[in-house]
Amino acid sequence: MEIDIENMDAGYGTTKILQGIDLHLEGPGLTCIIGPNGVGKSTLIKCMNKLLTPTAGTVKVNGRDVKEMTRKEIAEIISYVPVQSDDVFAMPVFDTVLIGRANKGGWRTSSTDIIRVKKALEVLDLTEYADRPFNELSAGQHQTVAIARGLVQETEILILDEPTSNLDIRHQIFVTSLMHEIAVSRGIMVIMISHNLNIASMFADNVVLMEKPGRIKQVGPANDVITAENILEVYNVNCEVIQHQGRPVILLDQVLN
Amino acid sequence: MADGQTGGNDYVKRAAAIWTSEDDTESEESRAAVTAYRTSELRKLAFTFACVIAAVIVAGLSITYGSMDIGFLECYGIIWEHLTGHVKDITLDYIVVDERLPRIAAALITGAGLAIAGCVMQSVMKNPLADPYTTGISSGAGFGATLAITLGISLVGGNYSIVVNAFVFALIPMAIMLSVGKLKGASPTTMVMAGIAVMFIFNSFSTVLKLNADPDALAKLYSWTVGTVADCKWSEIPIMGVVVLAGIVLTQFFSRKLNILATGDDSAKAMGLDVENMRILLLLLISLVVATVVSFTGLIGFVGLVSPHVCRIFVGADNRYLVISSAMFGAVLLEVADFIGRTVIAPATLQVGVVTAFIGGPMFLYLILKQKKSSW
């Protein structure tokens, strides 16, 4: 599995968000994309599965230009968990997750579909909510259900847009570490946007640090990317970075004006 | 997410191991999960089946009522004799098959057509208030009928001048909406706003025409805009039936895609759905269905709005079950409304459109207040 982005520009209408993006991601593992608000992290992942068409450059998935691929072909390789899910006509949690299996078979739900959904709910501690309407859950639970829906698609690449933004600290750790474990044990590539640098540092195999205006500052292991200099330069935040269990940990100091 | 022990490495590894382990389809837990799901499927289908049974019973009751008394079971016998070509009493056969059955068939078909249109509209527009007329179909059809009735301007002459005008003009708002969708992107909000704009435009045209219309034309126009199935004939039933049946079959075919659409545009695209084209295709499909039925019956409100909501309470929001159950419930609802219209102030009759509004409104309010789970 491989995502290869070359000299890519992207934006919305006439507003340019990303410029000159070069990024190569390969093999199983967890990649965390970090960077300040508005830097283009969501824009970047939306270009990976053709939710957004770049204005320049190329995006290749497993060696094929996504421009040449149909949505169905991309969906067979990449699953995507958006930052928010619609819930106008809410289904029970079980059925909401089951939608993720829609591309796996015909009109009828198979026994395999049912078992995979049951497992996904169990993995994410959602079993007791299986019959609850989706719109009666908290924002954090919405996100976890959306992650379960992403998991049951069983693709080789899973992209998550801020999957932990509404979760408490314990569940942020749980979800991020679970994504790492699944990536490693299942042999898939998981790409997620994160704002919690310490948690990203704990579990990411690879960190992509983005900076304004819409550029990639550095890509690599957490120890190389999450440094006091980079944090100051990209976030405008003074901090001290110490080592804990072989990983960098940020101790915040003060925000610069 | 439940409050459990999270964060510990072993805990996470165990959770990941559940996911990566081979599926044991024979385990007791797996079998229980599959059985529970299959039971819930049967429960959903039972509601649809109950609607079909209700339709048959109400049809019998409706046939028995009229100037000549016919027994409840006798009417089914007469229909069976007609179908098998062994008619015993020509008079009874004529009363049941030629006089009373066409309006019942029209009510069933129209109710089913309006209900699936409402179901699709609400899912596609992601709007609980969307109904078959949100796309401006009613105002377009209304203007076409107004043109034929007040000025005698029609695309064809004769008995079908109003029908053809209503059908053609009902499709114009959709053509405008699709054009706007092509220019601005077929998002639900754009579609609803374009539909409302077109509705106001056509309504204003109709109002101008009504200003100089004579009283007879106004009375006829009023009758058409309220909606009735009383004037439907056997010659019209096949056209309505084929279009509505095709609409139900195709919508059912796309029902899983409707579920994907409900997750949001980005999510649906990521799951491989061509969102804009699917939305346009479905809207075009239901526009044809609605234009066909309203051109024969006039504007019958509320069935399209209320039927999917009632069915969501019983079968949930899964469109694979919602589409067919809405169609069956809509058919029964309109059939009951027509029966009430024929009997409640007999020998005078109330038009079915008036009855649907009378019973639909309070019923809808009652269900909103009564339901425990929030379905929208």
Specify the CATH number of the domain B110-370.
1.10.3470.10
pLDDT, one tens digit per residue, over A149-198 is 999 999 999 999 999 998 999 999 999 999 999 999 889 999 999 999 99
* % residues pLDDT > 90 (chain B): 32
B376 pLDDT above the threshold of 60: no
- Return the residue in B129, B271, B375 with the most chain A beta carbons within 10 A, the one to mutate for interface testing: B271
**B257 CB within 8 Å of a chain A CB:** yes
Find chain A residues with C-beta within 8 A of B20's C-beta. 182, 185-186
Task: From A115, A145, A111, select the one nearest B29 (Cα to Cα).
Answer: A115
CA-CA distance, B224 to B205, in Å (whole number)? 17
Amino acid at B94: Y
Q: Is B234 helix (H, G, I), strand (E, B) or coil?
A: coil
- Cis preceding-peptide flag for B347 (omega within 30 of 0): yes
What stretches of chain A show up as alpha helix (H) in DSSP?
Answer: 41-48, 71-77, 93-98, 111-123, 139-151, 169-186, 197-203, 222-225, 228-235
Task: From B46, B55, B106, select the one nearest B332 (Cα to Cα).
Answer: B55
| Record: contact A89-B123, CB cut-off 8 A | yes
The pTM assigned to this predicted structure is: 0.87
CA-CA distance, A94 to B252, in Å (whole number)? 21
Domain boundaries, chain B: 110-370
Q: Are B118 and B303 in contact (CB under 8 A)?
A: yes
Name the A residues in 30-59 with CB < 8 Å from any B CB. Answer: 46, 49-51
| Record: contact B30-A76, CB cut-off 8 A | no
Q: Are A85 and A146 in contact (CB under 8 A)?
A: yes
Task: From B118, B108, B113, B78, select the one nearest B95 (Cα to Cα).
Answer: B78
pLDDT, one tens digit per residue, over B16-38 is 888 877 777 778 888 898 999 99
| Record: contact A136-B122, CB cut-off 8 A | no
pLDDT, one tens digit per residue, over B138-175 is 888 888 888 888 888 877 777 778 888 888 888 888 88
Q: Are B301 and B21 in contact (CB under 8 A)?
A: no
Neighbours of A143 (CB within 10 A): 28
Quote ipTM for the complex.
0.91
Q: How confident is the model at residue B186 (pLDDT cuts 50, 70, 90)?
A: low
List, in order, residues 6 or more apart from B174 with CB less than 8 Å away: B135, B136, B137, B283, B284, B287
CA-CA distance, A112 to B40, in Å (whole number)? 17
Name the A residues in 214-253 with CB < 8 Å from any B CB. Answer: none
Find chain B residues with C-beta within 8 A of A193's C-beta. none
* Backbone phi and psi for residue B298, each to the nearest 5 degrees, phi listed first: 85, -175
**B287 CB within 8 Å of a chain A CB:** no
| Record: contact A171-B126, CB cut-off 8 A | no
Question: Which position has the token pair 């009928």?
Answer: B145
pLDDT, one tens digit per residue, over B311-334 is 998 999 999 999 999 999 999 999
Question: Which position has the token pair 């957490």?
Answer: A222
Q: Which mean pLDDT values do the consecutive 10-residue runs of chain A (257 residues) have?
A: 94 91 94 95 95 95 95 95 82 93 82 92 92 89 93 95 91 93 93 94 95 94 95 92 92 72
**B35 CB within 8 Å of a chain A CB:** no
List, in order, residues 6 or more apart from B18 with CB less than 8 Å away: A119, A122, A123
